[in-house]
Amino acid sequence: MKSRFTLRLIVVVAAALLAAACGSGDSPETASPALPPTESPSDASLTATEEPTGAGAAEDGEMSGIDGTTVTLISHDSFALSDETLEAFTEQTGVTVELLEVGDAGTLVAEAILTKDNPLGDVMFGIDNTFLQRGLDAGIFVPYESPALADVPADLQLDPEHRVTPVDYGDVCVNYWKDAVPREPTSLTDLTDADFYDQMVVQNPETSSPGLAFLLATIATFGDGWEQFWMDLRENGLVVTPGWEDAYYGEFIAGGGERSMVVSYASSPPAEVIYADPPTDVAPTGVITDSCYRQIEFAGILAGTDNEAGAQALIDFMLSETWQNDVPLNMFMYPVISSATLPPEFVEHTAVPAAPLMLDPAEIEANRDAWTERWVEIVLR
Amino acid sequence: MSPSRRRRGAATVAWAVAAAAPLGFLSIFFAYPVLTVVGDGLSGLGELLASAPIRGVLWFTLWQAVASTALTLAVGLPGAAMLARLGPKARRVVRALITVPFVLPTVVVAGAFEAVFDRFGLDSGAVSLHHTVWAILLAHVFFNYAVVVRTVGSWWAGLDGRNADAAAILGATPARAFVHVTWPLLRPAVAAAAAVTFLFSFTSFGVILILGGPTRATVETEIYRYAVTRLDFDTAAALALCQLVAVATMVALAGIAERRRAVARRSAGRTVSRRSRVVIGVNAIVAIALLGVPIATLAERALSTGDGYGWANFAALAQRVPMLPTTAVAALWHSLGFAALATGIAAAVGVLASMVVVGGSARSSAKGARGWGAAWLRRLLDVGLTLPLGVSAVTVGLGMLLALDRPPLEFRTVWWIIPVAHALVGMPFVVRTLVPTLRSIDHRLREVAAVLGAAPLRSRREVDVPIASRAVAVGAAFAFAVSLGEFGATAFLPRRPDTLTAPLALFRLLGTPGESLRGQAMALAVVLMAATALSVLVIEGLRRTDESLF
């Protein structure tokens, strides 16, 4: 199988390069004159991004010939937006979006790589920074630098070659049940304190993306000391679950469990308020902001698409206010553009960490298996 | 050409057509996708088997499946005895009720189990079930109880009770009569139920991960880990190959036990003795404790609202929440539609296949060389039709994704691939209940019909159809329930949001924090259970024939 994958990789990379080369050469009149000057340092090396053929297409679908075409968007099963949002895109550009959803984020990336010589769609949304390098290495994306990136903070744009575009982000943080903790926890080291004996629930990083994010948070915090942290955490009474649902609803107090601390999201307290029963004005949970690991979700155009201009228009639209303002209450993630507005619950009931933890995607890819294996040895054996 | 030869020629054509449909279905939607994945595993197999941790995983997978099967039989066989002793109406209701666990997503059941452990103090301390093998075995009994009780119970009800009565009159104790008379007649059904339970336990995924705790791994969970988390497709494929070989071996072995013929299926009127009443009573308690307590826990959660108890969570299912592309009620209708379609496919393919598997067995033995190839074909179909139950959802799902991706077989994103995938898992139930039943039909009944002047087709219609229809209904009801609750291979198939099914909606509701979302998820689980029980009642009530006739 390895050899077949290598072959596919070569074919796809070659095809991508060819497409990139042709893209810059043909029909310059379709290139939008409204394209802002590019700022990314790596742009000079990538001809395709200098004159993206469909840039600005969101405004003039008819001119670029994408009116009446269809773009297939493939995403994970947490994807959710208002009906009006995708309809607005079709109204603006004449492009119809066909949505396909598959499994969780990990399954999505695995399948995109497995099917890369005959991709399932034109655009993929939902690859995050913990799996990003895997997708980039497999060569499943073609670069596109959206003009709308001008409104996106630079620290969210992890790929200088713009093979992927940041669309939303969230923070994986330790949540605690306010009424059940002996004192308010404020840092990761609190978790190993005797005050919090038998209180913590984590997800297995091998089967859960918040679980993996939390492992990375400890590595980003403690460096080489992460192993000792986990030994101490285990000593302090730790429960490991395979996924988020069984952690949050099985072991954590929220679902009738007995533990007061769990790995979840910074947006979980707002969700607890919005979907409270009976209604409440006070979130029952809080987050340890020092424990937050930033998860950025990206979209990318899949190599092999036959509607690259339509795909580019969709990427542009993902960074529009229409899409971005729709993100928080549907997916419980944060918008990436600075002009987006947050719902009041997201402002009142949670805190956005000033300096969230993050690791370089390439470093994650190089070490992920070794880290998780070591984690299994420390925590489970 | 003499008329008889012409008739035989026509029969051969009919047989070929009957064989081609299930073979084609199985080849395109199962064998080809699975071989696409597993074919790559051959090179890595030696290395895999040499690894001590993997051998440990293989061993654990095998013994927990064997233990789960044994335990389910131990709990289920008395349950089957109970079912056989109930009157037809009560039997129908009980059969429908015990099917309910089938549709419950593991994460929901696990939550209910943990709550039960908690309530009875089994969560920690001296007798802890939390994250133990016992929790796994218990959950497997919970899920598979219906397989044993329904398969064996229906069969038992159809046995001629006069044989055991005769033994009793000749002085045999009830135990002796059971061992020497009833048990040999039950064996085909027990073998079929054991095979299905074994396959379910062998490939169980959520139960192992959630209830077994993070240190337990089976072949199934390892395939997922290597394929999806590690992107190590070589190892995943080699594991999938191991699984396929192990499962095929087990199915073939079970087939040998099942192939023994049972005769004399005709039930006499039964009187419920005092001893039977004790059996029924004890079993009702076991069944209620095992199935009822976790289900009651779910119902309690569904009914509990912020201010006490009420129907608010159920009412909310009609409104769309942002996490779902449609309402939960619409998702339920999608599920029912898919289940109807999947059941239709499973029943049609399963009936044809079962006829082929059984049909010529009497003829072929007399026909020597020509029958030899046909016998192999039948054996292949028999095993092949059961395999989808025992092959990893990852293998089937990714296999479909990779194999069915180009014309003329470009099916990976069509909407009907979902009911087809459901039908693959439902079909084994139809085949496993129908094949032993068809084998058991006393051919003298057909001869009697012939003597009375019935043409061959007529005798089939009058003799085979009424007897077989019960087995088809039992199998089809399983297929329907499996489809309603399916969350396996289809998790790997890309799907349109407007085909959201109820189990997927339930998962999504549980994916965001918030007490009201959780309440709605529990309410949806309860509605799903009710829909299952009702559907089973309807499907098994469709037959016009009265069971007491045979």
Kindly state whether B125 is in contact with chain A, defined as any CB-CB distance less than 8 angstroms.
Answer: no
**For residue range B453-489, what is the model confidence (pLDDT) as tens digits?**
877 777 777 777 877 888 898 899 989 998 998 777 7
Asked which of A299-308, B372-381, B537-546 is least confident by mean pLDDT, the reply is: B537-546
pLDDT at B92: 84
**pLDDT over 50 (residue A50):** no
Kindly state whether B51 is in contact with chain A, defined as any CB-CB distance less than 8 angstroms.
Answer: no
The C-alpha atoms of residue A132 and residue A160 are separated, in whole angstroms, by 13
The C-alpha atoms of residue A256 and residue B116 are separated, in whole angstroms, by 11
- ipTM of this predicted structure: 0.85
Helix (H/G/I), strand (E/B), else coil: B469: helix
Question: B314 with B304: CB under 8 angstroms?
Answer: no
Tokens found for residue A63: 């001119």
pLDDT at A39: 39
B513 and A285: CB-CB below 8 Å? yes
Asked which of A188-192, A240-244, B155-159 is least confident by mean pLDDT, the reply is: B155-159
SS3 labels along B482-539:
HHHHCCCHHHHCCECHHHCCHHHHHHHHCCCCCHHHHHHHHHHHHHHHHHHHHHHHHH
Question: A272 with A254: CB under 8 angstroms?
Answer: yes
The C-alpha atoms of residue B35 and residue B27 are separated, in whole angstroms, by 10
Query: Do the strands A123-128 and A70-75 form a parallel or antiparallel pair, or are they unpaired?
Result: parallel
Nearest to B229 by CA among A293, A304, A371, A273: A371
Q: Which among A111, A246, A380 is the nearest to B110, CB-wise? A: A246
Asked which of A64-68, A124-128, B57-61, B260-264 is least confident by mean pLDDT, the reply is: B260-264
Query: With contacts defined as CB-CB under 8 Å, which chain B residues touch A106?
Result: 228-229
Band the pLDDT of A20: cuts 50, 70, 90.
very low
A244 and B511: CB-CB below 8 Å? yes
> Cis omega before residue A160 (within 30°)?
no
Query: With contacts defined as CB-CB under 8 Å, which chain A residues touch B315?
Result: none
What residues pair up with A297 in beta bridges, in sequence order? Answer: A128, A168
pLDDT at A22: 40
Which residue from A minimizes the CA distance to B111? A250
Query: With contacts defined as CB-CB under 8 Å, which chain B residues touch A248?
Result: 513
pLDDT at B547: 45
Query: With contacts defined as CB-CB under 8 Å, which chain B residues touch A1?
Result: 40, 43, 233-234, 237
Q: Which among A113, A118, A257 is the nearest to B406, CB-wise? A: A118
**pLDDT over 70 (residue B361):** no
- Taking a contact as any Cβ pair under 8 Å apart, which residues of chain B between 308 and 337 contact chain A? 312, 322-325
pLDDT at B350: 92
Minimum distance, in Å, between the CA of residue B491 and any CA atom of chain A: 5
pLDDT at B323: 86
Q: What is the mean pLDDT of residues B20-29?
A: 91
pLDDT at B360: 55
* Continuous H helices in chain A: 2-25, 47-50, 83-93, 105-114, 132-138, 209-222, 226-235, 244-245, 268-274, 308-318, 321-331, 344-348, 361-379
CB neighbours of residue B39 within 10 Å: 14
Which residue from B minimizes the CA distance to A102? B494
The C-alpha atoms of residue A300 and residue A142 are separated, in whole angstroms, by 7
pLDDT at B72: 95
Which residue from A minimizes the CA distance to B398? A111
What percent of chain B is predicted at pLDDT more than 70? Answer: 89
CA distances (Å), origin B248, targets A195, B386, B527, B549: 53, 9, 36, 37
Minimum distance, in Å, between the CA of residue A81 and any CA atom of chain B: 7
**pLDDT over 50 (residue A33):** no
SS3 labels along A286-353:
EEEEEEEEEEEEEEEEECCCCCHHHHHHHHHHHCCHHHHHHHHHHHCCEECCCCCCCCHHHHHCCCCC
The pLDDT mean for chain B works out to 83
Nearest to B95 by CA among B535, B548, B429, B545: B535
Query: With contacts defined as CB-CB under 8 Å, which chain B residues touch A99?
Result: 496-497
DSSP assignment of B352-400 equals HHHHHHHHTHHHHHHHTHHHHHHHHHHHHHHHHHHGGGTS-HHHHHHHH
Nearest to B187 by CA among B261, B247, B249, B250: B261
Band the pLDDT of B301: cuts 50, 70, 90.
confident
Chain A, chain B: beta-carbon pairs less than 8 Å apart:
151
The C-alpha atoms of residue A217 and residue A291 are separated, in whole angstroms, by 7
Taken in order B56, B62, B68, B74, the sign of the CA dihedral is: negative
Band the pLDDT of B437: cuts 50, 70, 90.
confident
Q: What is the pTM of this model?
A: 0.84
B229 and A106: CB-CB below 8 Å? yes
B210 and A242: CB-CB below 8 Å? yes
Band the pLDDT of A368: cuts 50, 70, 90.
very high
**pLDDT over 60 (residue A54):** no
Minimum distance, in Å, between the CA of residue B37 and any CA atom of chain A: 10
Nearest to B197 by CA among B249, B137, B237, B252: B137
A277 and B519: CB-CB below 8 Å? yes
Q: Which among B110, B306, B513 is the nearest to A272, CB-wise? A: B513
**pLDDT over 70 (residue B548):** no
The C-alpha atoms of residue B313 and residue A278 are separated, in whole angstroms, by 12
Question: B290 with B142: CB under 8 angstroms?
Answer: yes
